[in-house]
Structure 1
Amino acid sequence: MSGHGAQACHLVFLRCDGDRAIGCVVLHVLDETCTGTFILDQNVIDAIRHCLRNYSTLELRVSAYYDDGGLSGGTLERPALQRLLTDIDRHKVDLIVVYKVDRLTRSLADFAKIVEVFDAHGVSFVSVTQQFNTTTSMGRLTLNMLLSVAQFEREVTGERIRDKIAASKKKGMWMGGPPPLGYDVEDKKLVVNATEAKIVGKLFQLYLELGNVRSLMHEAEHQGIVTKRRQSGDRTTGGKPFTRGNLYQLLHNPLYAGKIPHKGKTYPGQHQAIIDPETWKAVQQLLSQNASTRQSSQNIKGIGAKPAGTYPCTA
C-alpha cells in the first residue's frame, strides 16, 4: 500500500457476501496508517444501501489495493482502472462507490463508455460526496452535469497551462525537457557545456565544408563524434554515432542560435548561443538549398515514369 497524504478513499468496488460487502480500495488510500478494514460513516452507508438495500451495518474488508496515484483522470489508460474494468467483465463487481466522480474520469465521453460497461454487467455506481447514483434517471442527469463541469475545468486548466508555456517561451525561457548536445540544465535554465559546445561548432563547420548531411555523418563517425550522453541513476543513454536524422535535427535547432522555438516561430532566448549568426544563417541556407535540390531531383525522376496500368499499343 502506498500513501498519498490525508485523503479520503476515492474509489471502492464491492462484492456482495451475505450482509457484508467485500471490496477493494481503488486509486487512492487514506494514508500510510490505513489498515485493511474501513468502517464507513452513515452517509456512505445510506448511499450504498440505496443500491443494495440489505445492510444494517456495513464494513469493507480490503482484499487488494489498486493505486493510480499521480495519473490524470483525463484518460482511461490507467493500470488500476483497467484492472477494475477487467474485474467488472469477470463479474467480480456489483457496486462501485466513488468519493468524487472525477476520481474515476473527467471526460464525459469516457464516462459514457464506462457506464455502458456498468449497465452491461449490472454494476451500480454511487458518488458518496455528491449524493447521486446511476440507478435513477435523475441520478444520471446529475452525473452528466457534474462530468460536464469537471471536463470544462480540465480543459480550462489545460488552456491556462498552454498559455503559460507560450508566454514563457515568448520571453525566451527554457521550458524543460532533455537539453541538446552543447547544453546542460542548471536551476531550470540552459547553460553552455563548453566541451560539448566545441563539438556542436565543429559539426556546423563540417557541414559547410562537406556540403551535405550524408558526408557529415560519415565524417562524424570517422572522428568518433557521438550523441549526448545522459545519466539517470545507474543508467546511461546516448553516446552513439550520429544518424542523418540526428544531424538534421541538430543543424535545424534554433537553440544553438540563442533562440527559443514555439509553434513555428522563434524568440530571443535567455540562454547563450553556441553558433554565431553568420554561421547559423549559412547553414540554414545550405539546408534549404539541398532540400530544394532533392525535391527537384525527385520531380524529374517522376516525369519519366509511366502511370500504373498503361502499356504500349501493339495493334
Structure 2
Amino acid sequence: MRPTIMNTTPSQKIVRCAIYTRKSVTEGLEQEFNTLDAQREAAEAFIASQRHEGWVALPEHYDDGGFTGGNTDRPALKALMADVEAGQVDCIVVYKVDRLSRSLLDFAMIMGALDKHDCSFVSVTQQFNTSHSMGRLTLNILLSFAQFEREIIAERTRDKIHSARRKGKWTGGPPILGYDVAPNGGRLLVNPEEAEQVRRIFEHYVESESLTATLRWANAEGLTTKSYTTRKGIRKEGRPFSKSSLHSLLTNVQYLGKVTLKTEVFDGEHEAIISHGLWKKAQARMEGRSVLERRPERNKTHALLRGLLYAEPDGVPMYHSFTTKNNRHYRYYVHRDVIKRADTPGTTRTVPAGDIEAFVLEKIKVIGQSEQLAAETIRQARLRRADQLSEWEADARQLRSAAARTEQEIHRLAGANDEEAVVKLASLQDRLAREQGRLAEVNRCIENINTETLDERALVRALSDFDGIWDALRGEERVKLMHLLIQRVGYNAQSGEVQIDFHPSGLNDFILRQAS
C-alpha cells in the first residue's frame, strides 16, 4: 500500500517521511513478502494516518537486510543520513526503535545529526515522536533498558563460551585444516587426509628451518588452507598459503589437542594431530625469533654444523651422525634422503664431519686476515639482509591489512546479542590477537635489521685473533659461536664447492662483543 500525496493548503508544510527498515539476518529475505516489506507497510499506514499534518512517504527504499543494529556500518542507513544532510528528509519513520539502532551511543549520535538538520524521528509501534520533549525522554529510557538487556545477554553468552572452553569444548568458528566439524556441530573430528598434510607441513618446516622455504614448498605441492561449508550452506574454498596463514598454522595449539581462552590453554576434547616432540621442534625454529636468542639443540657430539649444513643443489638438510670401527668414532654428515631410504642418484650422500668443519673454520680465519674478503663477506650479508628486510616488510603489510579487516568485522558484529554472532566475535578477537602478536614480532625483526651496522675493518679487527678466541672456548661454546656467525652452509659433492652464508646480525653482534 502506498499513500498518495494529498492536496494541501498553501500554508501547510509537507513533511517528507523516509521509511527505514532493517533485519539482522538474511534468512527469509528471498520471500516475496518478507519482514522488511511488513515493516514498510506498517510505516506507510502510519504516515497515511497523518495526512492531515501534511505527511507523505518518500518513494526511496532504505532497507538494510542482513545487518546488525549494534553499529552504524549499514549501506541503507548511510544513504538515509546522507539524504538527511542534503535536506531531502523531514522525518524518519521506523517500525520499532531498535530497527534504527540497538546502541544507545549510536542512537544519540544519530539523534544529534537529525536535530542539526531539523529532522524528527517516529517509531510506529511505540508511538514515539522526537519532536516532543516527552517522546525524547521516553525514548532514551527505553534504549537504556534495551541496551542493558542486550549486554546482559551478551555477557551470559560469553560466560557460557568461556566455561565451555575451560572444559576443552570447541565453541564454534571456522574449522582449521586437519579437522571437520561433527554433524551435530558440537566437536571437531580429525580429517585423516588433511591431518597428514598438516604433519607434512610441520615436518618440512622443522627440516628446512625456514618459513619462506616451507611456504614455497607448500604452494608447489598445491596445499591450501581449509575448505568448508558454513551452516548457512555457503562454500568457503581454501586459498594458497601466505606467510601469515602458514605461521598461524604452525603456532595453532589446536593441533596439540588444546583449546585457548585468551592467554590460557586447556586440554581439548578433540584428538591431537601433531606430537609434542614435533610441536616443540617447530616452535624452537619459529621464524621471527632473534638469531641471538635461538639456541642449538642439545648437541652431545658438539657437531659444529648441525642444523646449518645443506646438500646442494637440492638444498635439503644433512644430518650429523657417526659410526664406530675398531673402537674409534668416525663422524660424518649424511643426506636426509639416505636416512629416509629415499636416496636418489646424484645426491650428496655423506661428507666427513672433520673435513668440512675444518674448511668452514679456515674460511672464517681467512676473512680476518683480509679487508677485501671482509668487505665481500659483508656485501653478501647486506644483500641477504636487504632480501630479508623486503620479506619482513611485505609480511608486515599483509598482517596490517589482515588485522584491519578483522577489526572491521569485529566492529560490524559489536553489540550483537545472538549466540552465533557472539561466538564468531570471540573467534575474531582471538584471530586479531594472533595477527597483532605476529605483527609485533615482525616489526621487532624489521627494527633489528634497520639498526644493524656492519663495517669491514671492524670485522677484520674482531676476527684477527679468531684462533685465540676459538682455543679458549669449550665444545658447546664453539657450537654457539658457529651458530651465531653462520646462517647456512651449502655443500655440493659434485663440484666440491662450499657456500657459507653469514648472519648479518650475528656478524654485528660478534664485532660488538670483541670491541667491548
Answering whether residue 176 of structure 2 is matched by residue 180 of structure 1, we say: yes
Q: What is the CA–CA distance in structure 1 between the aligned matches of 2:4 and 2:292, rounded to whole Å? A: 66
Match in the other structure for 1:245:
244
Q: What is the CA–CA distance in structure 2 between the aligned matches of 1:15 and 1:253, rounded to whole Å? A: 62
| Cα displacement string for residues 142-174 of structure 1 (whole angstroms, at most 9, x for unaligned residues) | 222222222222222222222222122222222
Equivalent runs, 1:145-160 vs 2, <5 Å: 145-160=141-156
Stretch moving more, 107-116 or 254-263: 107-116
Match in the other structure for 2:395:
none
Q: What's the % identity of the aligned pairs?
A: 41
Equivalent runs, 1:63-212 vs 2, <5 Å: 63-187=59-183, 188=185, 189-212=187-210
Contact conserved, 2:17 with 2:92, CA < 8 A, in 1?
no
Distance 1:23 1:186, change over 3 A: same
Q: What is the CA–CA distance in structure 2 between the aligned matches of 1:264 and 1:90, rounded to whole Å? A: 49
Q: What is the CA–CA distance in structure 2 between the aligned matches of 1:283 and 1:184, rounded to whole Å? A: 24
Distance 1:266 1:15, change over 3 A: farther
When the two chains are superposed, the root-mean-square deviation of aligned CA atoms in Å is 3.9
Answering whether residue 433 of structure 2 is matched by residue 284 of structure 1, we say: no
Match in the other structure for 1:302:
451
Q: What is the CA–CA distance in structure 1 between the aligned matches of 2:4 and 2:118, rounded to whole Å? A: 12
Distance 1:294 1:97, change over 3 A: farther
Q: What is the CA–CA distance in structure 2 between the aligned matches of 1:184 and 1:111, rounded to whole Å? A: 41
Distance 1:16 1:219, change over 3 A: same
Equivalent runs, 1:268-283 vs 2, <5 Å: 268-283=267-282
Equivalent runs, 1:33-44 vs 2, <5 Å: none
| Cα displacement string for residues 181-230 of structure 1 (whole angstroms, at most 9, x for unaligned residues) | 211223223211111111111121222222232332334345x1411352
> What amino acid is aligned across from residue 210 of structure 1 in structure 2?
S
Q: CA deviation at 1:300?
A: 8.4
> What amino acid is aligned across from residue 32 of structure 1 in structure 2?
F
What SS class does the counterpart of residue 121 from structure 2 fall into?
A: strand
What SS class does the counterpart of residue 191 from structure 1 fall into?
A: strand
Distance 1:278 1:145, change over 3 A: same
Distance 1:153 1:118, change over 3 A: same
Match in the other structure for 1:6:
none
Distance 1:293 1:116, change over 3 A: same
Runs of 5+ unmatched residues, structure 2: 9-13, 24-31, 295-444, 455-516
Contact conserved, 1:173 with 1:270, CA < 8 A, in 2?
yes
Match in the other structure for 1:260:
259
User: What is the TM-score when the length of structure 1 is the normalising length?
Assistant: 0.73
Q: What is the CA–CA distance in structure 2 between the aligned matches of 1:126 and 1:39, rounded to whole Å? A: 9
Contact conserved, 2:202 with 2:250, CA < 8 A, in 1?
yes
Match of 1:26 among 20, 29, 32: 20
Contact conserved, 1:15 with 1:93, CA < 8 A, in 2?
no
Q: What is the CA–CA distance in structure 2 between the aligned matches of 1:218 and 1:132, rounded to whole Å? A: 62
Contact conserved, 1:258 with 1:270, CA < 8 A, in 2?
yes
Distance 1:141 1:239, change over 3 A: closer
Q: CA deviation at 1:180?
A: 1.6
What SS class does the counterpart of residue 126 from structure 1 fall into?
A: strand
Contact conserved, 1:37 with 1:61, CA < 8 A, in 2?
no
What SS class does the counterpart of residue 125 from structure 1 fall into?
A: strand
Q: What is the CA–CA distance in structure 1 between the aligned matches of 2:449 and 2:91, rounded to whole Å? A: 67
Q: What is the CA–CA distance in structure 2 between the aligned matches of 1:243 and 1:294, rounded to whole Å? A: 26
Q: What is the CA–CA distance in structure 2 between the aligned matches of 1:167 and 1:94, rounded to whole Å? A: 49
Match in the other structure for 1:313:
none
Give the number of aligned pairs.
283
Contact conserved, 1:74 with 1:106, CA < 8 A, in 2?
yes
Distance 1:294 1:252, change over 3 A: farther
Q: CA deviation at 1:104?
A: 1.2
Contact conserved, 1:38 with 1:61, CA < 8 A, in 2?
no
Q: CA deviation at 1:16?
A: 7.0
What SS class does the counterpart of residue 291 from structure 1 fall into?
A: coil
Contact conserved, 2:43 with 2:95, CA < 8 A, in 1?
no
Match of 2:291 among 290, 293, 300: 293
Bigger fraction of residues in helix: 2
Q: CA deviation at 1:23?
A: 5.0
User: What is the TM-score when the length of structure 2 is the normalising length?
Assistant: 0.47
Contact conserved, 1:181 with 1:196, CA < 8 A, in 2?
yes
Contact conserved, 2:19 with 2:43, CA < 8 A, in 1?
no
What SS class does the counterpart of residue 102 from structure 1 fall into?
A: helix
Contact conserved, 2:19 with 2:92, CA < 8 A, in 1?
no
List 4+ stretches of structure 1 deviating above 6 A. 33-37, 233-236, 294-298
What SS class does the counterpart of residue 103 from structure 1 fall into?
A: helix
Q: CA deviation at 1:292?
A: 3.5
Q: What is the CA–CA distance in structure 2 between the aligned matches of 1:39 and 1:249, rounded to whole Å? A: 49
Distance 1:39 1:263, change over 3 A: closer
Q: CA deviation at 1:265?
A: 1.6
Q: What is the CA–CA distance in structure 2 between the aligned matches of 1:301 and 1:276, rounded to whole Å? A: 37
What SS class does the counterpart of residue 176 from structure 1 fall into?
A: coil
Q: Who wins on radius of gyration, i.e. which is larger?
A: 2
Q: What is the CA–CA distance in structure 2 between the aligned matches of 1:253 and 1:287, rounded to whole Å? A: 12
Q: What is the CA–CA distance in structure 2 between the aligned matches of 1:144 and 1:293, rounded to whole Å? A: 59
